[in-house]
Amino acid sequence: MRFPEQNRAGGLPEAEVREDVQLLALIAGENQHALAALYRRRSGLLYSLLVRMLGNEMEAQEVLQDVFVQVWRRAPDYDPGRASPVAWMILIARGRAVDRLRSRSRRNAGQAAYEQEVISLEMEVNATRQPERDELAAACTAALHQLPEAQGEVLQLAFLRGWTHEEIAAAAGEPLGTIKARIRRGLLALRQTLKDYHG
């Protein structure tokens, strides 16, 4: 089965969400063409996330393959009332990537490691500014930069590096409740960006 080039970055217009839901329903009925269509629409976003998390293209490819096999198997369980298809797939992908990150070696979750991770996250963001990035992605990136520094850091450590809340709290020397609140507020602030973008 062949498919055309990756399409544009996935925003969340209502029509696209509806199409994704329809595709997942077809996949649940074992329609492989629907899986190919979903792959064409969303593999770019998922792959980008995996490369960023794992820092290794080969590993990201393996996980991407695994993610779409999971989508194929778990499509019958997908509930549109609980999550949008893209968010559902992103969280499957993230979960797989975190498994890999944690299986590499037990992290030395100390203050030095914390500072090192934060610096590497900053460097990655600065090194990968892309002028061709679409408007929605640019808006989300701007929103991430506008978060209070500590909030942006813990959010990325938790989401992109797979650090647990406890690890972050211990490394940052902050109460666990503070870290949890920062992550929650950070996610909600970014979500607001999406909402504003689509009106």
Partner 1 sequence: MAEAYQAEDDAVLYVLGELTTARRREFEAQMAQSAELRQLVQELQEGALALSLTVPRRRPAPEIWTRIEKQLARGRSSEAGFAFAWRCWWRSGWAVATVCLLGWLIYALATGGSFRPATPKSPVLATENPAHSGPLANNPAPLTPDATPHSSAAVSNAALQLLQSRTAELLALRRQVTDLTNQMQELAALLMHQQGLLTEPDRIKFFQLTQTTNGSGTPESITSTNLQRALFLAMARELGWLPPGATNGADGGHPLTGSNANLVPVTQAGVDFVDLHPGSNTVIGPVNPGSAQAQVQTQPTGTGEDSVSLANLYTNAIPGGISSSNLFVAVDSSVVPMGTSVAFWMVTAGGSYLPMGTAVLGSNPMVVTVPTSAWGSIGGGYFTVTATGGGGTTTTLGWVALPQMLAPVSSP
Query: Which of 17, 25 has the CB closer to partner 1?
Result: 17
Site for partner 1 in 50-89 (CB under 8 A): 51-52, 60-62, 64-65, 68-69, 72, 81-84, 86-88
Query: Which of 22, 59 has the CB closer to partner 1?
Result: 59
Say whether residue 191 binds partner 1 (CB under 8 A): yes
Number of helices (H), then strands (E), belonging to the chain: the values are 9, 0
AA letter at 54 = L
DSSP state of 175: -
Query: Which of 24, 100 has the CB closer to partner 1?
Result: 100
Say whether residue 169 binds partner 1 (CB under 8 A): yes
Cβ contact 140:132 at 8 Å:
no
* C-alpha atoms less than 13 angstroms from C-alpha of 160 in its C-beta half-sphere: 20
Task: State in angstroms the smallest separation of the CB of 22 from partner 1.
Answer: 19
Nearest to 21 by CA among 92, 96, 91, 89: 89
Task: State in angstroms the smallest separation of the CB of 8 from partner 1.
Answer: 9
Say whether residue 37 binds partner 1 (CB under 8 A): no
Task: State in angstroms the smallest separation of the CB of 6 from partner 1.
Answer: 5
DSSP helix/strand/coil, 131: coil
Task: State in angstroms the smallest separation of the CB of 5 from partner 1.
Answer: 8
Cβ contact 161:117 at 8 Å:
yes
Query: Which of 11, 19 has the CB closer to partner 1?
Result: 11
Say whether residue 184 binds partner 1 (CB under 8 A): yes
Query: Which of 25, 72 has the CB closer to partner 1?
Result: 72
Which residues lie below 8 Å from residue 140, measured CB to CB, with a gap of 6+?
A: 190, 193, 194
User: To 5 degrees, how large is the angle CA 35–CA 38–CA 41?
Assistant: 150
| C-alpha dihedral sign at 15, 139, 164, 188 | negative
Instruction: Provide the mask over 108-147, with x wherever binding to partner 1 is found by CB under 8 A and - wherever it is not.
Output: xxxxxx-----------x--x-x--x--xx--xx-xx---
